[in-house]
C-alpha cells in the first residue's frame, strides 16, 4: 500500500459503509456478500495474507476434523464444483490454498489491509459511525463494524513461572512460523494435549530425536480415518451438493453424520459394542453420533467413554502410560472431541516420554527446559499446544466502545452477552460472526459463517431499502437470549468439563458456557423468524438516508466510501 506523506497508510481518514475485522473464511465471505449489496467495505487483517485460523495454525499435522466435502463454502455453485480436495480430512496447507483460491476468484484482496490490526473501535451516536483505530496509526470510520475475528484466534500461552526464560526456540501451535520448523534429531518438549497437541505429537515424534509430552488432562481422541479422497466419493457429493448442503444447514452441528435415532441404553451391550466398533474403525466424529443421547445422559455417555478407554488400553503397550493417558473425570465430548492419526500409538515409540502433570506438576520453565516436581527436563525446542482465549479473546483484545463509551470488556466482565449471538446491546451496527451465543465452535463453522453472513447481509439490505441507518439490539431481548443460551447448555453434559467452551482454560475468565448448543438448524430457524418478524428484539433508529423512497429497492443508500 502507498504511504501518505505523514507516513500513515493512505487509508487514513477514509469512510466505508462497512469495516470487517479479520480475513479468515468469515471475513472473506462477508466482504464478498457486502459487495453484492453495492456497499463499500474494508477488511483489516493482522496476518500478511488471508486464511485466519489456517494462516496461523501451520503446526505439523494440522488438519481439519470436518470432512473436506463439507468444510467448504456453498454460496457459489461454480466454486464448490471446481475445487478438488485431495484427502478425506484436508490438511492445513490445502485449506490455506483454498482460502487463497476464494480470495483470488472473487478478487477480494483489493479491499483487504494486511498486517493491520484493529486496536480500537468506538461508536459515535451523533455521526452514526464507528471510528476504527488501526495498528498502522491510521483511523477510518464505518457505518457498520463486523467482527469476523474467529473463535480460536487469540493464542494462549500458559501462566507458568519462568515462561520466556527458555534459551532455545519455542513455538505456539496457533502462531506457527511460516517458514516451518525442523525438529530433526532435537530434544523437544510439547506442553498440551488438546486437538492441536494430539495432531502435532505423532508428527513431531517421527522427526525428533526425543519427544517429551507434558499432559495435564488426558483427552478422548478418536481415529480420524483419514485417507486420500476417493474420486467417486467426491463426485457423489458434488452431484448432490444442493440437497446435501441444505440438509447440513438444518442439522444440529451443520454437518451430515450418520445420526442415530436410538438411545445407548435402549440396545443390548453386544449391539452397542458393535455400533461403537464399526464407527471407531471407520474413523471420524461419526462415533459421537452412535446414539442420540450421548450428549445429555451421563449413563449413555459412560458407555462411549468406556469404549474409548478400552481402545487406549489395547493400543498403548505400557499399562502405566495407558493409565495416565486415560480420561476418566469428565464426559466424552464435553471437551471438544479430538481426531487423531496414530496419537495413542505414538506413546509406544522408544523416543517418546509422557509426563503426567497431575502426578508431577510443572514448577517452572527454565533456560534449559521444563522443571517438574520430580525432574529437570532438558530440551532443544519447546512447543506450546496450550490453546486459545477462545470466543471472546480476540474481540476483547480490541478496545470496543459502544453508546456512551460503554466498554465491551466491562460489559462482558461476567461473560459474553448479546442478542442472538449477533449483536451486544449498547453497541449499534456492530455484528459478530460466529461469536459467543451462536452455534459457532459447536458446528461445522463454514456453515455457521454462511448463515451469519447471509443474515447480516439481509439485515443491511432491509435497512438499505427502508433508509434506516442504525440497528441496535434491545437489552431485554439480550437478557432473554443469554438466559436461553445458558438454560439449553445446562440440559447437556457439556458444563461438566473444565473446557475452553466454559472459559476454564484461562485463569480468571468467567465460567460461562459460551456457544449456543440448541443446534444449527434450530438456531437458523430462530434467526430467520426474528428477521421475518421485522427484526424482533432489535430497534432501528436514525433518519432515512434519502427522502425519496420510491427508488429504494434497486439503489443502495448506505454507500459512503
Half-sphere exposure of 44 (CA within 13 A, CB side): 29
CB of 426 to ligand NAP, least distance (A): 30
CB of 286 to ligand NAP, least distance (A): 15
Q: Which is nearer to ligand NAP, 92 or 429 (CB)?
A: 92
Q: Are 69 and 446 in contact (CB under 8 A)?
A: no
Helix (H, G, I), strand (E, B) or coil at 491: coil
* C-alpha to C-alpha distance for 352 and 344, rounded to whole angstroms: 11
Half-sphere exposure of 259 (CA within 13 A, CB side): 13
* C-alpha to C-alpha distance for 477 and 473, rounded to whole angstroms: 7
Q: Which is nearer to ligand NAP, 9 or 503 (CB)?
A: 503
CB of 359 to ligand NAP, least distance (A): 13
CB of 262 to ligand NAP, least distance (A): 27
Q: At what angle do helices 25-36 and 445-466 cross, to 10 degrees?
A: 30
Q: Which is nearer to ligand NAP, 9 or 393 (CB)?
A: 393
Which residue has 451486544 as its cell numbers? 424
CB of 171 to ligand NAP, least distance (A): 13
Which residue has 430462530 as its cell numbers? 526
Q: Which is nearer to ligand NAP, 65 or 293 (CB)?
A: 65
Q: Which is nearer to ligand NAP, 64 or 290 (CB)?
A: 64
Q: Strand runs (DSSP E) across 87-185, as ranges?
A: 112-113, 118-124, 129-134, 139-147, 170-172
Longest Cα separation, the chain? 78
First-to-last C-alpha distance (Å) of the chain = 18
Q: Is residue 445 exposed (0-12), middle (13-18) or buried (19+ Cβ within 10 Å)?
A: buried
Q: Which is nearer to ligand NAP, 194 or 495 (CB)?
A: 194
Q: What are phi and psi of 483, to 5 degrees?
A: -60, -45
With CB atoms as reference, the residue minimizing the distance to ligand NAP is: 194
- Residue 202: CB atoms within 10 A of its CB come to 21
CB of 520 to ligand NAP, least distance (A): 16
CB of 387 to ligand NAP, least distance (A): 3
Q: Are 207 and 349 in contact (CB under 8 A)?
A: no
Cell readout for 178 is 511460516
* Cα radius of gyration (the chain): 24
* Element at 534 (helix H, strand E): none
Q: Which is nearer to ligand NAP, 387 or 519 (CB)?
A: 387
Which of 44, 76, 11 lies closest to 146 in space, CA to CA?
44
Q: Which is nearer to ligand NAP, 89 or 481 (CB)?
A: 89
Q: Are 509 and 395 in contact (CB under 8 A)?
A: no
Q: Which is nearer to ligand NAP, 13 or 177 (CB)?
A: 177
Q: Which is nearer to ligand NAP, 130 or 344 (CB)?
A: 344
DSSP string, 183-206: -BT-EEEEE--SHHHHHHHHHHHH
Interaction site with ligand NAP (CB under 6 A): 63-65, 152, 158, 160, 173, 191-197, 199, 214, 216-217, 336, 339, 357, 362, 385-388, 441, 500, 505
Q: Which is nearer to ligand NAP, 400 or 502 (CB)?
A: 502
Q: Strand pairing partners for 371?
A: 364, 376
Instruction: Give CA separation, 473 vs 17, 407, 421, in Å.
Output: 20, 16, 11
CB of 75 to ligand NAP, least distance (A): 21
CB of 394 to ligand NAP, least distance (A): 13
Q: Which is nearer to ligand NAP, 157 or 488 (CB)?
A: 157
Instruction: Give CA separation, 292 vs 11, 30, 221, 469, in Å.
Output: 52, 34, 19, 45
CB of 498 to ligand NAP, least distance (A): 7
Q: Strand pairing partners for 112?
A: 43
CB of 388 to ligand NAP, least distance (A): 6
Q: Which is nearer to ligand NAP, 339 or 430 (CB)?
A: 339
CB of 63 to ligand NAP, least distance (A): 6
CB of 309 to ligand NAP, least distance (A): 17
**Alpha-carbon 262 to chain mean position:** 30
Amino acid at each position: 500500500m502507498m504511504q501518505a506523506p505523514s507516513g500513515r497508510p493512505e487509508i487514513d481518514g477514509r469512510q466505508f459503509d462497512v469495516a470487517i475485522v479479520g480475513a479468515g473464511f468469515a471475513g472473506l465471505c462477508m466482504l464478498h456478500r457486502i459487495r453484492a449489496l453495492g456497499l463499500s467495505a474494508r477488511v483489516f487483517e493482522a496476518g500478511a495474507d488471508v486464511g485466519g485460523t489456517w494462516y496461523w495454525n501451520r503446526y505439523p499435522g494440522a488438519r481439519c476434523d470436518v470432512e473436506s466435502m463439507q468444510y467448504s463454502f456453498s454460496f457459489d455453485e461454480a466454486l464448490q464444483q471446481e475445487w478438488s480436495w485431495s484427502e478425506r480430512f484436508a490438511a492445513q496447507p490445502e485449506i490455506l490454498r483454498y482460502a487463497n483460491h476464494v480470495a483470488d476468484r472473487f478478487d477480494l484482496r483489493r479491499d483487504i489491509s494486511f498486517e493491520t490490526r484493529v486496536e480500537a473501535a468506538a461508536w459515535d451516536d451523533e455521526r452514526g459511525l464507528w471510528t476504527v483505530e488501526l495498528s498502522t496509526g491510521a483511523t477510518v470510520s464505518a457505518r457498520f463494524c463486523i467482527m469476523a475475528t474467529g473463535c480460536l484466534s487469540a493464542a494462549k500461552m500458559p501462566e507458568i513461572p519462568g515462561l520466556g526464560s527458555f534459551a532455545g526456540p519455542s513455538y505456539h501451535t496457533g502462531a506457527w512460523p511460516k517458514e516451518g520448523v525442523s525438529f530433526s534429531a532435537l530434544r523437544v518438549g510439547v506442553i498440551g494435549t488438546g486437538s492441536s497437541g494430539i495432531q502435532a505429537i505423532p508428527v513431531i515424534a517421527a522427526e525428533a530425536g526425543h519427544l517429551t509430552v507434558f499432559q495435564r488432562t488426558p483427552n478422548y481422541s478418536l481415529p480420524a480415518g483419514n485417507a486420500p479422497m476417493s474420486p467417486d466419493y467426491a463426485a457423489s457429493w458434488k452431484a448432490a451438493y444442493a440437497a446435501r448442503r441444505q440438509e447440513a444447514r438444518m442439522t444440529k452441528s451443520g454437518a451430515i453424520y450418520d445420526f442415530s435415532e436410538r438411545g445407548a441404553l435402549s440396545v443390548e451391550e453386544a449391539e452397542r459394542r458393535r455400533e461403537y466398533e464399526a464407527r471407531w474403525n471407520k474413523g471420524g466424529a461419526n462415533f459421537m453420533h452412535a446414539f442420540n443421547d450421548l450428549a445429555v445422559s451421563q449413563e449413555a455417555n459412560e458407555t462411549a467413554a468406556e469404549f474409548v478407554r478400552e481402545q487406549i488400553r489395547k493400543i498403548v503397550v505400557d499399562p502405566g502410560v495407558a493409565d495416565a493417558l486415560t480420561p476418566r473425570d469428565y464426559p466424552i465430548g464435553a471437551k471438544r472431541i479430538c481426531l487423531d492419526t496414530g496419537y495413542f500409538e505414538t506413546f509406544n515409540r522408544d523416543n517418546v516420554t509422557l509426563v503426567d502433570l497431575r502426578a508431577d506438576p510443572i514448577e517452572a520453565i527454565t533456560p534449559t527446559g521444563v522443571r517438574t516436581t520430580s525432574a529437570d527436563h532438558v530440551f532443544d525446542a519447546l512447543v506450546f499446544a496450550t490453546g486459545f482465549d477462545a470466543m471472546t479473546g480476540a474481540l476483547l483484545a480490541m478496545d470496543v466502545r459502544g453508546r456512551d463509551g460503554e466498554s465491551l470488556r466491562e460489559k462482558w466482565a461476567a461473560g459474553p452477552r448479546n442478542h442472538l449471538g449477533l449483536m451486544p446491546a449498547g453497541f449499534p451496527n456492530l455484528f459478530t460472526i460466529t461469536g459467543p451465543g451462536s452455534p459457532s465452535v459447536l458446528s461445522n463453522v463454514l456453515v455457521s459463517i454462511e448463515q451469519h453472513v447471509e443474515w447480516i447481509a439481509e439485515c443491511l439490505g432491509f435497512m438499505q431499502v427502508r433508509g434506516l441507518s442504525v440497528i441496535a439490539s434491545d437489552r431485554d431481548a439480550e437478557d432473554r437470549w443469554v438466559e436461553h443460551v445458558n438454560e439449553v447448555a445446562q440440559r447437556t453434559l457439556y458444563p461438566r468439563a473444565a473446557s475452553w467452551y466454559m472459559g476454564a482454560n484461562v485463569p480468571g475468565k468467567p465460567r460461562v458456557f459460551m456457544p449456543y448448543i440448541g443446534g444449527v438448524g434450530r438456531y437458523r430457524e430462530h434467526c430467520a423468524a426474528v428477521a421475518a418478524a421485522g427484526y424482533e428484539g432489535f430497534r432501528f433508529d436514525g433518519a432515512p438516508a434519502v427522502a425519496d423512497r420510491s427508488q429504494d429497492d434497486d439503489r443502495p443508500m448506505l454507500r459512503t466510501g
